[in-house]
């Protein structure tokens, strides 16, 4: 095969480096696309000083047959820790891993820098680094006592101690959308958890009653959906008190925008009203209007925005998602297609 001069020179440099490192590598076997791989980071926009936010570090342009190890560090006194496995989306040519950025107590702007080592088998091809395009602002109320990783995992799982996957719906939706969601859940025998706002329930009392009478779980998502990380103590408690009343003794509060979900300050305020905090493990980003096929891909394989769903996890959706109510059946089949179990709405007779 004929190679142009720049490509020949590039591969020659890799051969020379391999020789110096004592690695017997046939560089010509590596695709040239590996040389253009890059790192990106997705992260929330803001949270409390002293809090922790989940981020996703992603390698873009991952060559076929390659894997990646991923780590991260914080900037300006912020620290980072990565947890769990790397997930690969071959359709998107990405490899991603969840990393947690702990914000200092000092308000300011902080970033996370990801690092990945691209490997094929035991052979290291190259390392790439990159930071998030948008830093995380520590601009809420201070939370001086950091959470442990174990506490954060429990909050992400919403204290689900089973291997069943929970479907969760936030905020609210039109009568048509919510009726369609409830009908689909009934047809597929799936019990969901609804974190609709108190304001929505106040405006839609008939729909709020139907959610309960059909056997679904209800959680608290505040009254008007403000970021609780930026809300005073009195405001937080008022939002909790006017939120939807939970349907069981397992009282869960899902903070709007997940702001403050990993802060001991909000954890303490929620506990004072008998609640535990609840986030999510997989996100469809349905509010952005992706197709059902795109949402299915996200929860099946994961991508640069979310991990794939796994046993004991919960999927974030919204009652008003443009394609959620019509695509819900496909999402349910995709979860089951991964060999995962959903919580049944009705127990089967023996």
Class of domain 35-138: mainly beta
pLDDT at residue 282 greater than cutoff 60: yes
Residue 242 CA to residue 220 CA, distance in Å, equals 9
Name the more confident of 1 and 82.
82
Backbone angles phi, psi at 230, to 5 degrees: -105, 5
Query: Is the Cβ–Cβ distance between 227 and 235 less than 8 Å?
Result: no
pLDDT at residue 22 greater than cutoff 70: no
Residue % of the chain over a pLDDT of 90: 85
pLDDT at residue 294 greater than cutoff 80: yes
Q: State the virtual CA torsion across 296, 301, 306, 307 in degrees, nearest 10.
A: 130
Segment 162-177, tens digit of pLDDT? 999 999 999 999 999 9
Q: State the virtual CA torsion across 77, 81, 86, 89 in degrees, nearest 10.
A: -40
- pLDDT mean over 329-333: 98
Query: Is the Cβ–Cβ distance between 244 and 218 less than 8 Å?
Result: yes
Confidence (pLDDT) at 8: 38
Segment 103-124, tens digit of pLDDT? 999 999 999 999 999 999 888 8
Superfamily of domain 149-337: Glycoside hydrolase/deacetylase (3.20.20.370)
Segment 130-165, tens digit of pLDDT? 999 999 999 999 999 999 999 999 999 999 999 999
Rounded to two decimals, the pTM is 0.89
Q: In sequence order, what are the residues at sequence separation of 6 or more whose Cβ sits closer than 8 angstroms to the Cβ of residue 275?
A: 220, 240, 246, 251, 252, 253
CA 78 to chain CA centroid, nearest Å: 20
- pLDDT mean over 191-220: 97
Rg for the chain (alpha carbons), in Å? 23
Domain ranges for the chain: 1-30, 35-138, 149-337
Q: Do domains 35-138 and 149-337 have the same CATH topology?
A: no
């Amino acid at each position: 095969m004929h190679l142009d001069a720049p490509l020949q020179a590039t591969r020659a440099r890799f051969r020379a480096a391999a020789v110096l490192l004592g690695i017997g590598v046939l560089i010509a076997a590596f695709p040239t696309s590996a040389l253009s791989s890059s790192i990106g980071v997705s992260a929330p926009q803001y949270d409390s000083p002293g809090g922790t936010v989940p981020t996703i570090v992603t390698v873009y342009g991952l060559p076929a047959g390659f894997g990646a190890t991923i780590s991260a560090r914080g900037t300006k006194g912020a620290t980072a820790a990565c947890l769990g496995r790397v997930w690969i989306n071959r359709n998107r040519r990405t490899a991603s891993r969840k990393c947690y950025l702990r914000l200092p107590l000092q308000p300011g702007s902080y970033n996370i820098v990801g690092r990945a080592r691209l490997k094929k088998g035991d052979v290291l091809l190259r390392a790439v680094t990159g930071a998030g395009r948008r830093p995380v602002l520590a601009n809420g109320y201070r939370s001086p006592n950091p959470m442990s990783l174990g506490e954060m995992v429990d909050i992400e799982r919403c204290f689900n101690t089973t291997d069943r996957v929970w479907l969760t719906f936030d905020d609210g939706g039109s009568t048509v959308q919510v009726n369609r969601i409830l009908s689909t859940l009934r047809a597929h025998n799936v019990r969901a958890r609804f974190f609709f706002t108190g304001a929505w329930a106040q405006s839609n009392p008939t729909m709020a009653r139907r959610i309960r009478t059909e056997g679904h779980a209800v959680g608290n998502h505040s009254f008007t959906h403000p970021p609780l990380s930026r809300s005073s103590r009195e405001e937080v408690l008022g939002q909790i008190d006017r939120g939807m009343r939970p349907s069981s003794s397992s009282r869960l509060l899902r903070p709007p925008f997940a702001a403050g979900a990993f802060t001991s300050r909000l954890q303490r305020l929620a506990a004072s009203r008998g609640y535990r905090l609840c986030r999510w493990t997989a996100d469809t980003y349905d509010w952005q209007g992706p197709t059902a096929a795109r949402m299915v891909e996200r929860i099946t394989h994961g991508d640069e925005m979310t991990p794939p769903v796994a046993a004991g996890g919960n999927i974030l959706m919204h009652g008003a998602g443009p394609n959620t109510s019509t695509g819900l059946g496909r999402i349910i089949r995709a979860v089951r297609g991964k060999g995962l179990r959903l919580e049944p709405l009705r127990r089967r007779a023996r």
